[in-house]
Chain A
Amino acid sequence: MVVDSALANDEIDRIFGALADSTRRDILGRAIRQEQSVSALARQYAMSFAAVQKHVAVLERATLVTKERRGRQQIVYANRATLGKTATLLDNFEQLWIQRAKQIANIIADPKGE
């Protein structure tokens, strides 16, 4: 009985692994706001171009971003489909807890449960 068969377990691990690093979260945040060239990203961080490229590659493997060559530039943009699927894992628990709170409210409102 798999919930969201759209995401396999190893896929989920890659996504959360990719998000575990603050630089990668920052890169993803920038890519969500606006597509970025790898060289523009590299200027934002006190690390080598190669190191930034590696972070982008981790995000790419997790399908959180897509990288595309345009002329001499590599452009990174956010993959909204994956971002949406990731959030659904937490959404499931959110719905469960909302439901629990509603049921608690019913118990409290119903004196026969006392």
Chain B
Amino acid sequence: MTVITTTKDVENLTLTLVAEFDATPDRVWEVWEDPRKLEQWWGPPTFPATFTRHDFVVGGESRYFMTGPAGETSRGWWRIDAIDKPRRLDFANGLAGDDGEATPGVDPMAGYVTFEATDTGTRMTAVTRFIDAAQMQTMLDMGMQEGMTQAIGQIDALLAPAPV
């Protein structure tokens, strides 16, 4: 059973998600490292992601696009800032233009992810930090919103008592 908790810090513009998975840290790490696995979860179900580049080393970059129900795409990028396999991953995640490259003037979000072994598997803590409200709004405007809105109904169903 997967236990998920979140903490929103409105003042510091930080979102923290803690999820406990029934798998070793190595296996949870794989869903980040292997681009074919990463694209199975990074985008919402109605906005699946395709990673065209995933250079999973410190300083390495990724490029991806997400495809919506009407075929529309939105593009993004990652830059890996720190890796300590399978314990810690720091990365920047920003918006990209149609050429796939970073959109000038839009700062990336910062992601800090840690993986801890527990008695039953792995506790993954993913912290997302935003710079300001305008950045948050821009990120939300990038197109994934439609998929997210549709997905909220699915999430509500998932959050019902039955375990994953």
Contact = CB atoms under 8 A, between A and B. Distances in A.
B137 to A, nearest CB: 6
Contacts of B58: none
A80 interface: no
Interface residues of B, number: 45
A40 interface: no
A103 B40 contact: yes
B120 interface: no
Contact of A13 (B42, B128, B133): B133
Contact of A97 (B13, B17, B154): B17
Contact of B8 (A94, A101, A104): A94
Given A105-B19, A108-B22, A16 B133 contact: yes
A46 interface: no
B118 to A, nearest CB: 14
A105 B2 contact: yes
Contacts of B83: none
A102 B133 contact: no
Nearest to A110: B40
A107 B148 CA distance: 19
Contacts of A86: 10, 133
Given A16-B133, A98-B155, A101-B2, A87 B8 contact: yes
Interface string B6-33: 1010110101010101110001100100
Contacts of B132: 13, 16
Contacts of A91: 8
A108 B28 contact: yes
Contact of A93 (B23, B134, B136): B136
For the complex of A and B, 9 pairs with smallest distance between CB atoms:
A103-B41, A12-B133, A101-B19, A105-B2, A16-B133, A3-B140, A97-B17, A90-B8, A3-B145
Interface of A: 1-4, 7, 9, 12-13, 15-16, 19, 25, 86-87, 89-109, 113
